[in-house]
Each structure stands twice: as structure tokens, then as C-alpha cells.
Structure 1
């Protein structure tokens, strides 16, 4: 089930920014959620591999990863040892992969939701923030995966855990997941961008062709926050004051240039 929440005022954003669960065993509050911001509410959730290779993604994915590993070895000498590591590094440099970006920070998700390549589009359409519950995603996993992550007292997989369960095989992963489960993975800190974005990835099996239908059919705590187009500039300005901007999510000159361009944009 997917619950849709309309955001038309700044005050209505507060639950999104503060939702946490009290953990009596820790006497602390922890969030079980990860978020995904999208700049247009009409956009569907697709992986970059699906958009790029369409119906041939299953056949072309091995060649994409093999070639990336072959040419990227100078950047990461160990990249050939893990297909999951190849995906994670490639994802952040524009390689078509089956990974879908998520973040544990609602502020980071809001940043991506209120960012446009063309700033003229900012008040032309609503934007969205998706929220999924990581605990809920664990409960629908096959038993070996569920056991492995609970043994670590966690709800998040690492590259090493996924490699040990699949034998580094995409075919094994797809066979295990079929069309009714997917793993959420926390990537290793390969670069500063991953760290700053508090990145997580959904590893989408080839059996799931419609991600939103999968969430509607298999989850009960998925939320789609639709932020009204009239609010986008206001949220964007609020994020700047909270030090959440292009300078944070894209460390280096790229982010600095994007931030300066937007800061001096004339409406």
C-alpha cells in the first residue's frame, strides 16, 4: 500500500523531518526510514539500467559491469572482485545500474526534490519525496537474507553480506528475490559524495519491472509526499539556511558552481 500525503505549507513538512521510532532497548530514537527525492511528481521510479537498456537490461548488464571494471581498475584496484562494488562506484559516475538511490536523510531527499536542471521549471510542477520502511523491506526477504541481516542486529545489508549470500552472482540474486523482494544496501564510503548524501541503494531484481507496483503490493508503510509547486522555492531557501545545498551533496567545484548559479538566479 502507498499512502499519498499532500504538502502545501512549510509546517506540513515537519512530520517528514522528525519521524523516528523510540527504541526502549536503547532509550533512544531511531529512524527506520529511507527517502528518495524526485523533482517531478509525474516521474515514475526506474533504475538507470532500465531506462538505458529497456527490455534488454538482463542481457546487457553483465557486459556493462565487465567493461566498467576493466577500465576503472586504475581508480579502484579491487573493483574486479565484487559485482556489487562495481555497481556502487559506477552509479555515482553515471553508469547504468540496477541500483536505485535512497538516503537516510530527509533533508537530502528534499534537496533532490527541489532541484532542477532548468530553474525555470521550479514552479511549473509538484515534486515528491518517497519514504520506505527498512524493517518492512527485511520482513519480505527470503529467509536466508532475513536471517543474515537480523544476525547483525540490523536492517541494512553491506557489500560483503550480499556477496556471501549470492556468491557474487546476479543470477543467484534475481533467482532469490524473484518479483516480491529487494535488498537495501549501505554502500562503503568510496567517495565523499556517498558520505555526504548518506546514501543507500535498493538493489532492484530483474523480476521487478514496476517498482511502484511492487511497493503497493508488498508494503504497508510506504509514503509518497507530494510537495506543491508553489512551495518549492520556499523549501529550497529553507534548505540553504540549514546548510543543505549543492555544495554538500556534490562536494567540490561541481557543487560549488551549481550552488552559485542557483543563488544568483533571477526569477
Structure 2
């Protein structure tokens, strides 16, 4: 794996102002004459952490575990679920509620990603990181059926409907059929990274401006895929010494638990952190 391009894809922010410059860099779109960033973001409270999915952390036979998890989640959660019976809808719903899946949380908002990188004072001794992934460049590595599905609608990010349509054509799968996962993987001889914009399942999805990233081969980590494709990402390291400042600035900008996790639990968490003293963390 080439080391030089990977090293060039890592930047360390020395201040709040430099951090914002990095996160909002490249946002100008000359075709639209608007500031529309091509990046999506993932915040990690420890810069050393790999981008492992919850399914990968579970271990074992990932493909078999994934099928069992989705089948049983659907079986037990059916009466509480939203309309539709697409495997991809169930995958998104499961990820949203903490089911181990191949999906990794991303957001269109750099400030929301910063929140998740700095939200927990228990980890303020570690440098954090915000991963910036250029989803428009990522499209170039998608297999033709997915590229065609995006082009047909003038879309830049896949939906559950796109995935359902393509895997039905490729594998003749039924609406809920775990063989759709294999059908997706078989679209390409090499693993590919894709982004899925979920339905607006609840306020949390909307407030967090959320989407999911995933690799067609569930055994491949997102960071390993990115490192093998220079020019697709930038990893911005956030020094530990900046975390309290960032937390306070985000709080003042109304990016906190109260707004990102609507409800009493988010409100209670926000109040506890708002009144926490840095001297007693």
C-alpha cells in the first residue's frame, strides 16, 4: 500500500480557525456558483481508531452474522417499523437503532461530525479526528449499474430504492431477501465504497444530517479502502487540547445533544455536560 499519498491525506489542525478552514475547504462548486461541499464527514473521538463497522467489531463469520442479525431484527421489530419491507430499509433502520451492521455513520455536516469527535469528556486525553470523504470522487469507483441508477435521477448518493432496484435486477431478489447482499457484492470484481442516504426515520436522522457509508465486501474496513484510493479523503486530526474549546463553541452554535438527540434523554445529557467543570472531568 503506498505510504506517501496516505500521509499526504492527513492534516493536523492547530487552532479552531484552521480546523474550520480544513473542514470547509473545497466547498466552492464553480458549476453551481454555490458553496456545496463534495465531502461527507465522520467524527471519531480517538484519531488512532480505525473505521471499523459494528459488524466488524462483532467478529466471527461476518456474512453469516449479518444475515442472521437482519432476519431476526426484522422478525422481532416488524410491528414497530416504518412502511416498506426492503432489505436496505431494514439495514438502515437497524443501524439507526444500534444493530451491528456493515454501515458506518457519516453526516453532511462538518460541525455535527466535530460534535461526535468531541462529545465525551472521558476521551479528552486523546486526539480526535474528522474523516472527510469526497463522495463525488467515490462515485467513479462504483460498478456501472449503481452509476447508472444515480445518473438516471441526477442523484449523488444512493437511496434504499436505488439499492433495491439494482439488486433485484442483478439477483432477482425478493423485497426482503438477504441474498441481495451477495448480489450487491457480485456487481464488481473488487470491493467498492458507497454512500446510502436513509429515509427520514425520525428527527434524529434529520437533525444529524445523516447518511451511511459501506463497503460491498463487509470484511473490508472503510479506512483501508480509502487508503488504497488516494485522493478520496482527508483525515483532519483534532488535538486533545482543543476539545473543550470546540465543545463550547459548538454548544454556542446549538450543535449539542439537545438538538442532535431530540427528546428528554438528549436534553438531560446536554445539561449534564453544560454544567460539567473541566477541572473535574
Report deviation, 1:24: 4.2
Question: Are 1:188 and 2:199 an aligned pair?
Answer: yes
Report deviation, 1:198: 0.4
- The answer to whether the 8 A contact 2:193-2:214 is kept is yes
The residue correspondences of 1:121-160 to structure 2 (distance < 5 A) are 121-122=123-124, 124-160=125-161
Residue 63 of structure 2: which of 58, 66, 83 is its match? 58
Judge which range, 150-159 or 96-105, deviates more. 150-159
What is the CA deviation profile of residues 183-207 of structure 1, one whole-angstrom value per residue up to 9, with x for unaligned ones? Answer: 2111110111100110011122225
Question: Are 1:74 and 2:85 an aligned pair?
Answer: no
Q: Indicate the RMSD between aligned Cα atoms, in angstroms.
A: 1.7
What residue in structure 1 maps to residue 244 of structure 2?
A: 233
In structure 2, runs of 5+ residues without a counterpart are 174-179
What residue in structure 1 maps to residue 177 of structure 2?
A: none
CA distance in 2, matches of 1:238, 1:146: 39
- The answer to whether the 8 A contact 2:114-2:130 is kept is yes
CA distance in 1, matches of 2:60, 2:152: 37
Report deviation, 1:178: 4.9
Q: How many residues end up aligned between the 2 structures?
A: 262
In structure 1, runs of 5+ residues without a counterpart are none
CA distance in 2, matches of 1:100, 1:178: 22
- The answer to whether the 8 A contact 1:145-1:165 is kept is yes
CA distance in 1, matches of 2:27, 2:82: 41
Report deviation, 1:150: 2.0
CA distance in 1, matches of 2:185, 2:222: 15
Per the normalisation by structure 2, the TM-score is 0.88
Classify the secondary structure of the residue corresponding to 1:223: strand
What residue in structure 1 maps to residue 257 of structure 2?
A: 246
CA distance in 2, matches of 1:120, 1:46: 21
